[in-house]
Structure 1
Amino acid sequence: MSTLNRTADTATPPVRLVHLGLGAFHRAHQVWYTQQAEADPATPQWGYASFTGRSRGAADLLKSQDGLFTLVTRSGAGDDFEVISSLVDPAYADDTAHMVELLARPEVAVVTLTVTEAGYHLAEDGTLLHDADVTADLAALKDAVADPTGFTGTLRTAAGKIVLGLAARRAAGAGGLAVMSCDNVADNGPLTRGSVCGFARELDADLADWIEQEVTFPSTSIDRITPATDDSLIADVKAATGVDDSSPVVTEPFASWVIEGEFPAGRPDWEKAGVEFVDEIEEFERRKLWLLNGSHSLMAYYAQLRGHATVAEAIGDAEVRARVEALWDEAANHLQAPELKVPEYRASLTERFENPRIRHNLVQIATDGGTKQRMRAVPIMKAELAEGRDGAAAAFSIAAWIAYLLREGATQEIKDTRAEELARARSAADPVRSLIAALDEELAGTESAVALIRSQVESIQR
């Protein structure tokens, strides 16, 4: 058996992209798209330096393989195996000095992020949230932005790291670049701008002005189902290719990336790989969040309560499928632009969900429901209420989440970045109303909406 390592013949691109949040999705999406976009695969021009979250494990595995990994594209027809080489530098989250050095290079053109919504540390009004991580980073950076290359500490937040790197870039006269979120959150461009600029504004007004003038924050809508890697995937790669790969990634054939925004220092020719550049991304974001992510959340809670473990099992249950279709019907009422091609998108989702060889675990999707449902089900219900309808299908999704948290024996730790808040709501005198309020105060104050959700919770619990 051979191992994955670069040789003298391996085409290795220069690092021109930096990513925060090294994980399976990043590798199956942004890294894969970048490799597909190369004009000449023999002389690639765009390589990624990708930094882990808080764990060093992913970087350790990939460093042992020089950043190479196998992407397994899995469909009902079989598996395709592709070695991805655009990830050049798997790096540790705590190596802030390395990130600063990279961002100061003029050839580095784009920073991408997959850090989850909580990683932006913003309050609901869009202002910087002064939690423990932000407070610690602001204190650590108080003097460091004046001499960014001399910083030797560690930082906890993505915004803090980016601001320090941008301070070094400004000092080096390297010009602007693009900072682009690839997280499943609405308005992720403005969200990223608010986090980075809000952080910079508290440290150095001149630096904040420079960032606002020179740095862009494109918005994106991203889509590709990427289950977690397990030992069976490693064994499958070894059996099929004869290669020992300690860190392969499995994904579905479908992939989508829609981008709105400018790139002042250039970018890969991602459109060559199928990326769609648009003038207005908001409707595409809603289509993805409400149809794909919204149905994922509904299935994550309701289908688990019905004894299912995966998306494929869930969509094969006629009752679950009917609930998904009803949610899609409500969402479609507010996705009317012809270019969204909603009927075709729905058909593609059904086909993807039915893929028997992608084991997309519902328990994985169910994490962080307190954040996800307020972006997925709540906006659909409120849009329906605004047009005089009851939003029953979206209400059912909210009810399924509540019933999941209140299920018998559900006294274990809540897997959510808002776990403490949700635990208090679950223990309140009226847990249904309190959990609705954790998603949306206005909805919790609408008696007809609360009554509808309450009745559906009771129906699910029978």
Structure 2
Amino acid sequence: MTTRIDRASAGLPPAAPVRAVHLGLGGFHRSHQAWYTAASPEWGIAAYTFRNTELPRALEQQEGAYTLLVPGAPEATEAIGSISRAHPGADRASWSRDLACPDVAVLTLTVTEAAYAAPERDADSATGRLLAGLRERFRTSGAPIALVPCDNVPDNGAVLRSVLRAATRDDLRFSGWLEEQVSIASTVVDRITPAPTPRDVREVLDTTGLRDEAPVVAEPFSEWLISGDFPAGRPPWELRGARFVDDVGVYQQRKLWFLNGAHTLLAYAGLARGHRTVREAVGDDVLVEMVQAWWQTASRHIPIDAAELAEYRRRLIERFAAPGLRHELAQIAEGGSQKIPARWLPVLRAERAAGRLPEPLVRGLAAWVAHLRVGEVRDPRAAELVGSARAADPVRRTLSALGPDAGADDELVSAVGAELATLAKAGN
């Protein structure tokens, strides 16, 4: 009979007082921000999901403890205890209490690109929930707090600030408090965190001797760059390598274009060639050549030293090919309409302004359209996009969904259409 992991069995101290709140509880938060926070036993996290009820239930049964597994590196496997409480999204009473508590100094968020919906129109969106919690804080303690978005949205801190400003412009007292007492950081976050498999659960049991219903699988590499102020204090994240910088902008571009952009390219082109994981895809010379061509193209438009970029690219290939890390291409392919505008379009527009038609993006866009026509599409705009991809003039209609300029670019539409026809012949 096996023992379920809890704080005592994992050798963890009792849960720390809640001084941080997180919205978007999932694998990435637990492999990243919770892992960084675990360096300090004095900072506990109250973590909230959106609709998932199974994960918070499992974590509560385990007293917030879980295992971070690094495949192929048992020495890096560790029990994490920084989550003091886990809550389902429906627990709005606890959410309001936690956000109102003056002891809470930091709120981190891991949400998708689609989650920055206007909160005044969607109270259930991430920003809608955030705004409700901040109103409760304003109404009660009025204590300062730092918001730390940890997502792939370019200029995420500025975007979040603009959303909150727009939603509160008619409430002068509340909006004034937001400006004076609520600091919003900008960040770059990076750690490949695939969904765990039953095999990973067994490996945790074999490695630790404990049964964990909520393990997290991640690569050894992790990066967190932060720019911003913390008026009420923060955990000592730098103990695990977080870096505080004056401006994260160029690092955001590097990560979005080189890592996330390559992942998206591999997802659609790799699925079209019959691959299932990132590791399989980078074992395909055709796809590696396409990714390298994409990186060479993106390198023209980012102000980073060439030697530094070359080293970053080398490490990315190593990370993509790491054994034991099963990162599903289908998982990466989800939400393409939200991801592609940030990951590909800035470079595409710069290239078109220079009179060039970047081949790797032509192939990537064609593979995306092909995925919409024949794949299992998981996207907030799935019905619209699938309809466009299967209608007459599919390329123009689908590219227009990314941006009017893309759909109006006759040369681009023609090139993507020709590549789409090539893919269709190869699939027959």
Q: TM class, shorter-chain normalised?
A: over 0.9
Shift of 1:416: 0.3
Shift of 1:266: 1.3
Shift of 1:265: 1.3
Shift of 1:323: 0.5
Is 2:183 aligned against 1:183? no
Which amino acid counterpart does residue 336 of structure 1 have in structure 2? P
Is 2:403 aligned against 1:436? no
In structure 2, distance between residues paired with 1:406 and 1:173: 53
Partner residue, 1:449: 412
Shift of 1:199: 2.9
Partner residue, 1:144: none
Compared CA separation, residues 445 and 319, structure 1 to 2 (3 A): same
In structure 2, distance between residues paired with 1:30 and 1:292: 19
Shift of 1:158: 2.0
Which amino acid counterpart does residue 322 of structure 1 have in structure 2? E
In structure 1, distance between residues paired with 2:202 and 2:424: 41
Partner residue, 1:147: none
In structure 2, distance between residues paired with 1:14 and 1:450: 56
Contact 2:373 2:390 in 1 (8 A): no
In structure 2, distance between residues paired with 1:218 and 1:395: 35
In structure 2, distance between residues paired with 1:11 and 1:196: 36
Partner residue, 1:401: 368
CA displacement, residues 422-444 of structure 1 (integer Å, 9 cap, x when unaligned): 12312332111111111111121
In structure 2, distance between residues paired with 1:417 and 1:248: 28
Partner residue, 1:148: none
Is 2:231 aligned against 1:264? yes
Is 2:215 aligned against 1:248? yes
Any gaps of 5 or more consecutive residues in structure 2?
none
Q: Secondary structure at the match of 1:83?
A: strand
Shift of 1:197: 3.1
In structure 1, distance between residues paired with 2:373 and 2:126: 34
Is 2:19 aligned against 1:16? yes
In structure 1, distance between residues paired with 2:344 and 2:366: 10
Contact 2:145 2:232 in 1 (8 A): yes
In structure 1, distance between residues paired with 2:81 and 2:74: 23
Contact 2:68 2:216 in 1 (8 A): yes
Aligned length: 422
Choose from 60, 73, 83 the match for 1:87. 83
CA displacement, residues 120-153 of structure 1 (integer Å, 9 cap, x when unaligned): 115xxxxx684xxx1xx3xxxxxxxxxxxxxxxx
CA displacement, residues 161-214 of structure 1 (integer Å, 9 cap, x when unaligned): 222222222233342211121111111112212333333346x33212211222
Sequence identity (%) = 40
CA displacement, residues 15-47 of structure 1 (integer Å, 9 cap, x when unaligned): 1110111101100000001113x2xxxxx1111
Q: CA RMSD in A?
A: 1.9
Partner residue, 1:99: 95
Which amino acid counterpart does residue 5 of structure 1 have in structure 2? D
Compared CA separation, residues 339 and 266, structure 1 to 2 (3 A): farther
CA displacement, residues 49-69 of structure 1 (integer Å, 9 cap, x when unaligned): 100121211101101000000
TM-score normalised per structure 1: 0.87
Shift of 1:9: 7.1
Compared CA separation, residues 291 and 399, structure 1 to 2 (3 A): same
CA displacement, residues 362-410 of structure 1 (integer Å, 9 cap, x when unaligned): 0111100111112112221111122232222222221211122224xx4
1:218-367 matches, within 5 Å, as: 218-338=185-305, 341-367=308-334
Is 2:63 aligned against 1:63? no
CA displacement, residues 197-255 of structure 1 (integer Å, 9 cap, x when unaligned): 333346x3321221122212111111101111222111111112110111111100010
Contact 2:204 2:211 in 1 (8 A): yes
Contact 1:163 1:200 in 2 (8 A): no
Compared CA separation, residues 339 and 190, structure 1 to 2 (3 A): farther
Shift of 1:459: 2.4
Any gaps of 5 or more consecutive residues in structure 1?
39-43, 123-127, 138-155
Which amino acid counterpart does residue 120 of structure 1 have in structure 2? Y
Shift of 1:79: 6.0
Shift of 1:456: 2.0
Is 2:382 aligned against 1:419? yes
TM-score normalised per structure 2: 0.94
In structure 2, distance between residues paired with 1:114 and 1:242: 31
Q: Report the more deviating stretch, 303-312 or 378-387.
A: 378-387
In structure 2, distance between residues paired with 1:261 and 1:291: 24
In structure 2, distance between residues paired with 1:367 and 1:103: 31
Q: Secondary structure at the match of 1:220?
A: strand
In structure 2, distance between residues paired with 1:357 and 1:326: 27
Is 2:69 aligned against 1:72? yes
Partner residue, 2:44: 47
Shift of 1:344: 1.1
Q: Report the more deviating stretch, 177-186 or 21-30.
A: 177-186
Partner residue, 1:2: 3
1:107-126 matches, within 5 Å, as: 107-122=103-118
In structure 2, distance between residues paired with 1:286 and 1:201: 30
Partner residue, 1:153: none
